[in-house]
Copies of this chain bind each other. A is one copy, B any other.
Amino acid sequence: MTTRQDAEALDARDPLAPLRTQFSLPEGVIYLDGNSLGVLPAAAAARVSRAVQQEWGEGLIRSWNSAGWVTLPQRVGDKIGRLIGARPGETLAGESTSVNLYKVLAAAILLVKQQGDAARRVIVSERSNFPTDLYIAEGLARQHGFDLQLAEPDQIAAHCNAKLAVLMLTHVNYRTGRMHDMAALTHAARACGALTIWDLAHSAGAVPVDLNGADADFAIGCGYKYLNGGPGAPAFLWVNARHLRTMEREDLWQPLSGWFGHAAPFDFTPHYRPASGITRFACGTPPVLGLTALETGVDTVLAAEPLGGIAALRRKSLALTSLFITLVEERCGGHGLAVVTPRIESERGSQVNLARAEGGCAIVQALTARGVIGDFRAPDILRFGFTPLYTSFTEVWDAVEHLRQVLESGEWRQARFNQKAAVT
């Protein structure tokens, strides 16, 4: 049996332990929900306050130039790019994941249509992909007369055929914690002439991603999870440079043709002319406060670079999730919990999801009342995220001990834990 002392020993020799001091963690909380909302970087409060009081309050309109507001989407985008295998100038921060997916999926559809093969009209995704991705794809399929097909994870490769236009997947699944083989699936899609879109919501800042290495086509991702960008933080998008060149040559526009994606937005000319490079995927005025907070969050991940970067974060992440799985099995048996997340490390993201036929929401609420914060995903998933930047091995041990006590005491059966949480 694994003891709390074993966990403490792992913390004592954890080379990434000093990174935790970058964060303001509330007292008495074990936070296993960084995959939903990352914790507050200690630097963010002062940095956002400076943006509000000095840049906005004092600099006012002048700060568009003097404080660099106008290039925030590119600057923050390039920082994120370092975490996902992008070259400079390929990544743009801004808007929401949903809006960014709309842009890149619409662009992919245009690129496919432009090839002139009318039989290639299928978008394939995973049935348990995060719903907003499916909703956006459903809307675009409706608009463009494409067919959205939802597959089980093991059947995706079988959908790679001459009808496949776009393979749209989330790299790490939000319900199962399962990670796809990006290189292999991208290769399979490409081999049959299709494009790929990768949603990196649960990947960027948590697991190694190499978009150019995989020769992927498009990617999007979320700023408020492992990038610690704050609630509703701006998202990001990445486009393979070859598509940017094709779009320029063929005069293809992404649909949200707003002024920040214009070649000369401050010339105020009446006709749209897309900017070159990734900027053609920009749309509205950048959300300065959100991008500022996001930059401090991304910086907390980049701070791991001298300690081994994403590879080191990945090693610790796997150690954390493996410890959690081991402890749940050792200490919480007989309570109907099933580990949904793959045991095979190469198929695992940075979370562990447990399924339970009933009571999942109430168990998560009972844990929250004890200060152990995970989340519940209807209808039956208890989800625990492990953020190697700030989660300790001892916290993992303590969290499982709380879970054990909640299950054994039956306290989750109390009425106050049995209403459905609106959002957790």
Interface residues of A (CB under 8 A from B): 24, 26, 29, 31, 33, 36-37, 39-40, 44-45, 48-49, 51-53, 55-58, 60-65, 69-70, 95-99, 102, 127-129, 131-132, 134-136, 138-140, 142-143, 150, 175, 224, 230-235, 253, 255-260, 262, 265-272, 283-291, 293, 368, 373, 375, 377-378, 421-424
Q: Are A284 and B96 in contact (CB under 8 A)?
A: yes
Q: Are A287 and B102 in contact (CB under 8 A)?
A: no
A273 to chain B, nearest CB (A): 9
Copies of the protein in its oligomer: 2
Known: A48-B52, A61-B375. 5 other contacts (CB 8 A): A62-B368, A97-B285, A98-B258, A132-B259, A132-B284
Give the residues in chain B near A230, CB-CB below 8 Å: 52, 56, 288-289
Q: Are B57 and A24 in contact (CB under 8 A)?
A: yes
Give Cα distance in the complex from A36 to B69, angstroms: 14
What 5 A-B pairs have minimum CB-CB distances, sorted nearest first? A96-B284, A98-B258, A132-B259, A139-B257, A231-B288
Q: Are A99 and B256 in contact (CB under 8 A)?
A: yes
Give the residues in chain B near A44, CB-CB below 8 Å: 52
Q: Are A378 and B267 in contact (CB under 8 A)?
A: yes
CB < 8 Å: which of B52, B61, B70, B139 contacts A45?
B52
Give the residues in chain B near A36, CB-CB below 8 Å: 61
Give the residues in chain B near A424, CB-CB below 8 Å: 61-62, 64-65
A392 to chain B, nearest CB (A): 17
Give the residues in chain B near A140, CB-CB below 8 Å: 255
Give Cα distance in the complex from A160 to B393, angstroms: 69
A228 to chain B, nearest CB (A): 10
CB < 8 Å: which of B143, B267, B289 contacts A231?
B289
